[in-house]
Amino acid sequence: MKHIVSGIQPTGSINIGTYLGSIQNFVKLQDAYPDHHFLIFIADLHAITVSQKPEELRKTIKELAAIYIACGLDPNRVSLFIQSEVPAHAQMNYLLQTHTYMGELERMTQFKEKARKQEQGVSSALFTYPSLMAADILLYDAEYVPVGDDQRQHLELTRDIAARINNRFGEFFTVPKPLIPKVGARIMSLTDPNVKMSKSDPNIKSRIHLLDDDALIKKRIRSAVTDSEASIYYDKDNKPGLANLLHIYSAFSGKSIESIEKDYENAQSYQTFKEDLGELIVHKLAPIKARYKELINSKELNQILDEGRAYASKHATKKTLKLQRKLGLGRARR
């Protein structure tokens, strides 16, 4: 079976950046790749590379699981699981670290950015985070990995590690390809369109969460930073705030940016555009919120996670044992 693999860290509520850059894409790919099975997981081992409050982390793990299904992942097409429940991820991480160079890890821009923000020292797990991510992907011989633009560099490193091991042992790993959406791959903050919309931004006004109530969603869009020229056209360099809103509009509606520009060519201000965008987001998120409420405390959700764990464990354990054998670990077979 061919695999498509991806994950999200359970750190804070899911915002529309993560939704448009990844979850919405997973849902669309289910139809576009009918021959593939999906392994989608909650990257809780990644989350603890920086300090987390245990009770909050556990709550967020469950919330993310419910969000995935509420957004339209089909449990018949997708094995949804929690990363830490499949121990082979941590084992494979270690094996891959033996084929990952310090210099490669030092070059990772996400590490540099996150390390700068740590107040109490930088954990070595944050440094080796990309080899855990490579393990997540290579364990299942993923052919494709749908991610947002900010994960491009980690994917490149994953490909390099896979190629290095293949060079040594013959074709052992599938070398994965990233699948980055055309629109929505990099949604920016609503308060500073020069930085990515992020779960960890201390300014809560910078983002919209999928579970925010309708009035708040509209308010966030109304107060999103734009420029003072009132006409609506795409110019990323000179009008980055508006360009970001156009991306969000396009990704939620499926319309091209050109056709949205045309719809608003006679607008005298941003007001109507912003009101319409607020309405659009509210409308698109309503069924997700409703389904989330049904799922969050259901047996169904637990069952989906159990089945996901079983499928993932079977593949991951087998692949890890195979690599251990290649590396000469353990006893000779009798």
What is the set of active-site residues? 114, 196, 199
- At 42 the three-state DSSP class reads strand
**HSE-CB for 119 with a 13 A CA cutoff:** 1
Rounded to whole angstroms, the Cα distance separating 69 from 301 reads: 8
Nearest residue to ligand TYM, scored by beta-carbon proximity = 21
Rounded to whole angstroms, the Cα distance separating 282 from 3 reads: 33
- At 17 the three-state DSSP class reads helix
CB of 47 to ligand TYM, least distance (A): 8
Residue 259: CB partners within 8 Å, gap ≥ 6?
none
Nearer to ligand TYM, 78 or 185 (CB): 185
Nearer to ligand TYM, 207 or 274 (CB): 207
210 to 26, 177, 198, 254: CA distances (angstroms) = 16, 28, 13, 18
- At 141 the three-state DSSP class reads coil
CB of 171 to ligand TYM, least distance (A): 21
Rounded to whole angstroms, the Cα distance separating 78 from 131 reads: 24
Nearer to ligand TYM, 114 or 291 (CB): 114
CB of 332 to ligand TYM, least distance (A): 34
CB of 60 to ligand TYM, least distance (A): 11
For tokens 């989608």, what's the residue? 40
Site residues (vs ligand TYM, CB under 6 A): 5-9, 17-18, 20-22, 43, 46, 133, 136-137, 145, 147-148, 150-151, 185-187, 196-197
Rounded to whole angstroms, the Cα distance separating 153 from 104 reads: 10
Task: State both tokens at 19.
Answer: 């939704």
Dihedral angle of Cα 197, 90, 170, 104, to the nearest 10 degrees: 50
Is residue 233 a contact partner of residue 245, using CB atoms and an 8 Å limit?
A: no
CB of 146 to ligand TYM, least distance (A): 7
